[in-house]
Amino acid sequence: IRDDYLRDSQPREDYRRENIRDTQPRYENLRFQEQGQAAFGTRPIQTLDNKEELLVNTPYLHKDGNSNDSVFNTLDILDWQDALTRSANKPDLAAKLIIMMLDTINDEKQALMQAWEARNRSMLAQLAHRILGGSRYTGVPQLRQASQDLEDKCLLNIQHTTPAQFAMLEPYYEALLAALNNLQTLDLSAYPQLNYHRLSENDMTWKMI
């Protein structure tokens, strides 16, 4: 499980080159756009249909984002029982995976903010995918949902980087940053298993010195 976590939480070089399967509806739009680019050798032109689609989807996404807030706020930041279940009921492994995730939060936040400033929608999707991959191995329901939501929204129109598109993405981007901050600032005193694991690691370090 630990090896799988490390594998899934690493950046994927083939992320953009991955073959898109017909059984993945969220990749359909990306597939059609790539076919259009291959045919004309240029970026797809925003037609009237695209603009109408944008206008239709805008209120839906805002509505969806508002309803998502209530779901997001009801999810636990850290769920120890969920962490145990996802680590084959091994407390030491569950604690180690949570701590590994905690130790990467600063790097993930910095990478997300840089991608957002650069308006790099593809990189935002890749970062959200990486965070989601790691969250599936431990008990962080809020972070898992937030990363899934941002990845899904980024992949809807991966080539569209207009201000209007990023305005629609912003609630999901902010939700993922909030989930990372919530986990980072969580009072871990209620989770003695984590404190014990950190003490054990520190004790081992001193013994090695």
Separation CA 192–CA 138 (nearest Å):
16
Q: Are 161 and 125 in contact (CB under 8 A)?
A: no
**Residue 28 binned pLDDT confidence (cut-offs 50, 70, 90):** very low
Helix axes 48-74, 163-184, angle to 10 degrees: 20
**pLDDT higher than threshold 90 for residue 47:** no
**Top-confidence residue, 22 or 73:** 73
Q: Write down the CATH superfamily of domain 51-208.
A: HPT domain (1.20.120.160)
Separation CA 123–CA 107 (nearest Å):
14
Report pLDDT digits (tens) over 124-151: 999 999 999 999 999 999 999 999 999 9
Separation CA 179–CA 129 (nearest Å):
15
**pLDDT higher than threshold 60 for residue 200:** no
Q: Are 173 and 124 in contact (CB under 8 A)?
A: yes
